Every structure is written in structure tokens, then in C-alpha cells.
Structure 1
Amino acid sequence: MARVLVVGSINMDLVVQTDTFPRLGETLFGNRFATYPGGKGANQAVAAARLGAQVTMIGRVGRDAFGAQLKTVLQQEGIDTRWISDSDVATGVAAITLSAGDNAIVVVPGANHALTPADLDAADAAFAQADVVLAQLEVPVATVEHAAELARKHGKPFFLNPAPATALPDSLLDLITLLTPNEYELSVALNAPGADWKALLKCLPGRLVMTNGKHGAYYTAANGDVQHQAGFKVTAVDTTGAGDTFNGALAAFWHLGAAEAVRRANAAGALSVTKPGAQGGMPTLAELDTFLEEQS
């Protein structure tokens, strides 16, 4: 069982379903409203836990109803929440509009931006015990970089999902064991807007896995050779959280080797879009195994 430490965001997702996305200045009637636990960090933690990993999370929530509810949800998933701190700032939220299986999202970070390097130092023991450290960019970049430094200090691989997209400083790139962007995030992370993603894939040999939606994922070997894992065909209901499912699964299965970890992560991400909610469709290990057996 892999021990995965997730450093990242915890949000409440406020989800509206509509027939079409509103245009600027337009008001539409929605078809449905619901709240779902979310945040890239929490999503990836849940994904890894459901797939059999032993997961610990470091993050912050507000001293409000959403914060208490979200911590309870994580605990119910078997995630160690001892390092999730309370903040005077409100719990983060994501406003999500769904239409025709696609989504548009606005994130208000709230307490997530109150996560500091000192919070990570207090949880130094969690880094020492982890097999993989996984982070995203919904918490401050300085905090993410300190997480990478602590992972390096303890000799642990550090995975970074560079979302939301932002240019990464060289000091952080040097500490990353594995970068896991989508096509758009790849060019932004490497500060190469407009560059051909196929060329960029070779910039970090053996240290890059790029998701490509229904087309699957691409990853590089240590010698720079680019490998492709095809996607799995499913009927999409809600694509929210597919990338987070992929990242949680990748961390959970990395000990199986890159090829198998990417294959399983692709399958988990595909399964996740078949149900509503970022965490609602995340598969269990048994569900993933059954799906892969059906595909063979």
C-alpha cells in the first residue's frame, strides 16, 4: 500500500447545471444546483485513498460549516486529517457551471491561501513517512516549493500538478520529480506560451506526464523517448475532477512503474467522468480492476 502525502486545497464546490453557458451579461435559468466536496488537493487525496493508498493531507479550512463538513468527508474516506488546520479566513469555494458534459470554474481560494511553509514544517513527520508527496497550485507557490524542499530533504519523490496554470520558477522545477500538466498547463508551467507541446514533452525527460483528455496521456522516459497511453471510451456526465482523479491514481500506483501507473490513472480518470461531482465519480480499487478487466 502506497503512502501518499497530499499538500493542497480543500474547497466546497457549488455546482449549477444549465443547458448552455451564459454569455457576458446574460442571465439564464439553471436546471439543478448541488454542493460537492472539492478542491484539487482534497480531490486527489480522495482519489488515491479510494484506490487503496494510505493518504495523509496537509491543508487549511475556515472555522465555518463548510470547513467542518469537508474535514468530516475526508475522514470518512480514511484520510489522515491531523495536519489540516483551521483558519480565520473562510473555507475555499469553487463556483462550477456544467453544460453538455463540460465545465467552467471560478475558484475563491479562501483558507487555502493561508497555508504557509510553517504549517508544513509542523508536519515534517508526515513527509518522513510518505512514499510520494503530491501537490497542486491552489495554495501559495512559496508553500508548494517548501513542500518540494521537504520532500527532497527526506528523499521522497515530489509530484506537482501545475493547476491552475502558472509559470513555475526554476528553483521549483529543479525540485520536481514528476510534473503532471495538461496540454495548456504544460506550456504555461514551462513559460513557453504557444510552443508545440510535443517539443515541450522532451524538456523534462523522465519527469513529465501530460494528460490529453479523451486521447489519454503522454509521458517521457529517462532517455527522452515519448510514450503514449491511449484513453478509455466512456460516456461523460461530469468532467469535473477527472484530472484530479488521474493525479491521485498516478501517485497511488507509481510504485508499479510509469507505464502501469499511467494506464491505471487513465482508466481511473475515465471512470470518474461517468458520475456527477468531482469526488462523486472517483472509483474504488475494485471498480477500477473490474473496468480494466472489461477493457482487456
Structure 2
Amino acid sequence: MYKRLWEENIQWLLVGWCLLALFLRPGWLPFGLGVAVWAILLYVTAPGKFWSLVALANIDRNKLEAHLRKAVSFQPASPNPYISLALVTAYKKNWAEAISLLETAAQKPGKRLAPKIRNVLAVCYRETGKLDQAQTIINDLLKEGYADGKVYYNLAYINYKAGRPQEALQAAEKARSFNLSDPDPVLLTAKIYFEQGDYAAAKDNYDWCIKHLSWPVESYYWLGRCELELGLITQARDHLATAVERITSDPELSDVPPEEAQKWLDEANRLLAADKSVDPENLTLEPTPETDPNQS
């Protein structure tokens, strides 16, 4: 317990020395020597904190991760280095390692992990299929009165993975109420509607996402799929063509393989070619009063 307090508060010695030097004005050389003594004390007594601070000074993600791993290798009493490394590994979707790091952090003596970090642990459990453990964390957070859009989105996704679509839709709606511009709960809502066969509702949600995402990629694919199901073949062809182009150029931005998107684009083109009522020389959507720029 005392070791954790020391590791988490040693920086105040430096702050105190700076304030004292400001009052005494000992000169730059004594001041620099005092800072050097503090740095040596930090390195010797709290190496985990030392390497965590070094990590924070790095912009390069690989170096940041390497320094955090070095910090954790000293088995610090403070959970902070473990949490920082867990966030890095979770970002890379190394869920199992992130769980191990966060569980270790939670066992450190002192106060509990912050609600935001516990929600991250619930995400990691969710992504590794440990839905009961994830649900338990979310329930505890809600009982404690801690709830924000991320918690409810996590709850929505847990319900979705557990096969409870209605509960997932309710939680996604609650998540959206915290931030009306957040596309994540809308994307999940659209996904659920699509799987339920409510293609019109799914289309509305994907339309919204495309208008609010800075660079929509996969949403164009699912919007095109909805339009195919609704018989809007020309619109589907156009949106699937956009999806193929963007998924091919940025495959990491989509879980849909380029080949899958191309398959449905080919299907849209086949349906258009088979539709005798469509002029093969002009397959663009006719403008409506809402979209025609010539309408006043």
C-alpha cells in the first residue's frame, strides 16, 4: 500500500523542489542537481513509474508500448502502468492480454479501478466471449450510478452477442441519448434490424451513418444490401460500387472482404441487366424534387 502511494505521488517531490527553488533562487546548477537527484530517486525506487513517464514522452506507438512493457516488467505496486499497457493492447484487439493486465491492475492494493477502466475490461470480456463476466461488470456500474453512452453501448453489444436483440436495441437507444452524433449505437441498431429482416429500418439507420461518418466504408456495403432486399436495385448498385472502391482501397476499415462486396455488386448489375424496365444506357437514379438541383 505504501509503495503504491510512493509510486503515484513521487512527482510531488519534484513539484515541491521547483516551488522551493522559486522561493530560494539557488541558481541553475543547484536547481539542476536537485532535479537530477529526483530523477535518480525515481529510477531506483519506482522504476515502473520511471519507464511509464518515458513512455508518455514517445509519440511512436511501438516505442510507447515497449517502454510500458518495461515498466510492467518491474511489477510496480501502482496499477497505472498495467492500465496504460492494457489500453494499448486493447486498441490492437489483443483482448486476452488486455484482460490479464487489467485483472492484475485490479488486484493491486488500494482503491478500485475507475469505472471507465472497468468498462474497458467488460469490452475485453465481451470480445473474448465471456459475456457473463462482462454483464456483471456493467450491472455493477449501473448499480453504482455510473452510466454514460459507452457503458450503454457496451450493454447493447453484450445483449446482441447473447442473442437478446430487443434488449440490445433498447440499450443502443439509451446509449444514443447521451450523444446524438455517435454513430456506434446507430450502426449496431442497423445491424440488428438487418438481421431481423427489417430492411427499411436498417436502411434508414445506415443512411444516417453515411451522413454522419467522416469516411464511411462498410456502411455503403450494408446500405446497398438493404436496397437490394427492398428492390431498389439502381441505388444498391451505386452504393455497392462505392463500397467496393473504398473497401479495396482501405481494407482495414471494413470487416467485409472486398470479394464479398464485389459479389453483391455483381448481383446488383445482374438484376439491373435482367430488368427490362431499366434503360441499359442510363442506369442512374432519376432525380426527385428533394435531390434535383434544378428544383427551386
* TM-score band w.r.t. shorter chain: under 0.3
Q: Relative contact order (alpha carbons < 8 A, sep ≥ 6): 1 or 2 greater?
A: 1
Which one has a larger percent strand, Structure 1 or Structure 2?
Answer: 1
Which one has a larger percent helix, Structure 1 or Structure 2?
Answer: 2
TM-score when normalising by structure 1:
0.27
Name which one, 1 or 2, has greater alpha-carbon Rg: 2
